[in-house]
Structure 1
């Protein structure tokens, strides 16, 4: 849950710096598992207005479960798209939370409306789409490894010029984005973020006096 929370928080942080006010006409989610649910939960809990929701998953039961989850939380218009291309072309904010190990989306035309893309699963988009987009990452070196879409693009073109900048630069207002391109946020995820979330949970637990002290948890606290 800490990892899912970190991933969702990172996605929503990017979204709120890319879309102002926090309003989405149609949110699309490709891959309707646990992390997708957390992304939706974090959006709703941080005050986003989502008028409609499109879902796509290869497993129908995951889509149906997500549809029920969204409707229970007040999103009235929820539909399950027949194809991922239909979803992409109709949504202004799209979250990819799949288990794909290689790019499978190659049609740049379905991004012609220049949506914001939370590319959380990192391996959904072809190099063609990456090269035609603004690309924001959490850490350049982390994101351009392990056969991510960005890594494959670097191997194809031989440089990193297609990386627009980092989430830190975005927050500080140091990035200039081309409004005539899609914008792809690709967070690899960093251990320090897990620690930050865990420490926040710990602090809240201490304040609410619901912690349990285990003095001998570290049975050998020194190396000497």
Structure 2
């Protein structure tokens, strides 16, 4: 491997927005590969700071096998206080490594990749876990880039939206998101302040917050048949989780780091509340009825970043939009 390329965020975003359904199919295929054991996806590694406990930088190493094997690492920083500076909460890079030599061959701006693979898995979960085409009242809790990207993917997949509700602890952000959803997707959208009423009215709930601990408790009403995408992982109290159908992306990964599924396992001493993984439902080995709320909790697998990143790399290379870095490696022979 003698060349090294950099793909900037503008290129990555262009590739994503030009064909979101292709990203979704890549995510679907990667989930199925992962369930067959064709991937290597170790635990994520968290760098935390005693003087800034809300911030963290996470390393997600991964390997994709199959016909075109590749390894890589996403290095993603999450600094919630950035929002006060009018900066995005997360920033990230993705490194791709040649599977034969181990040499890195590309570095991609990855905050968009991270948002896109999360949004694609969210849209896939909606189509898999709540496949009927009836109009839905959709509630977004958290008005940041993750929620906005999820709305883009849901719109691209033709979700039939009756009404879009948006809640954020900063009312101006919620209003901005609602305007975006209305102007961009043509949805009837509005910001809401009463979260309890919105939760009780919604058919589909997207949790994309920075909450460090559960706030959604069993004092709130969740209708039967509702689907909650627990993207931020820590919003839902164990007393709610235990009453719901629960689908994860990877059971062992989700039951770590004080996520809602992890807290539920710790509180009740069992994993019996978990129905299975999204891949299990895709394969038909797990089926769910609509007798209660269903929660999808995706921990966020590094193999998804890797698969989406490889697609963006190949597309950028083929279209001449990958920036070559000559002499990135000072030596390419041992002697």
Structure 2 length as normaliser, TM-score? 0.63
Inter-partner Cα distance in structure 1 for 2:333 and 2:159: 48
RMSD after superposition: 1.9
* CA distances 1:33-59 after superposition (whole Å, capped 9, x unpaired): 110000001111122222210111000
* CA distances 1:144-184 after superposition (whole Å, capped 9, x unpaired): 11111111111111111111100110111111214211000
The answer (yes or no) to whether the contact 2:155–2:185 under 8 Å persists in 1 is no
Inter-partner Cα distance in structure 1 for 2:201 and 2:328: 52
For structure 1, the residue ranges without an aligned partner over 5 or more in a row are none
Who is 1:174 aligned against?
285
* CA distances 1:12-66 after superposition (whole Å, capped 9, x unpaired): 1111112224554211100111100000011111222222101110001210110
The answer (yes or no) to whether the contact 1:120–1:187 under 8 Å persists in 2 is yes
For structure 2, the residue ranges without an aligned partner over 5 or more in a row are 1-111
Who is 1:118 aligned against?
229
1:51-200 correspondence runs (5 A): 51-107=162-218, 110-200=221-311
Q: CA 1:214 to 1:84, structure 2 compared with 1: closer, same or farther past 3 Å?
A: same
Q: CA 1:133 to 1:73, structure 2 compared with 1: closer, same or farther past 3 Å?
A: same
Inter-partner Cα distance in structure 1 for 2:284 and 2:244: 19
Inter-partner Cα distance in structure 2 for 1:42 and 1:212: 28
- Tell me the matched-pair count: 224
Structure 1 length as normaliser, TM-score? 0.93
Inter-partner Cα distance in structure 2 for 1:64 and 1:185: 26
Q: CA 1:222 to 1:188, structure 2 compared with 1: closer, same or farther past 3 Å?
A: farther
Q: Which has the higher helix share?
A: 1
- Compare CA radii of gyration and give the structure with the larger one: 2
Q: Which has the higher strand share?
A: 2
1:8 matched to 2:109: no
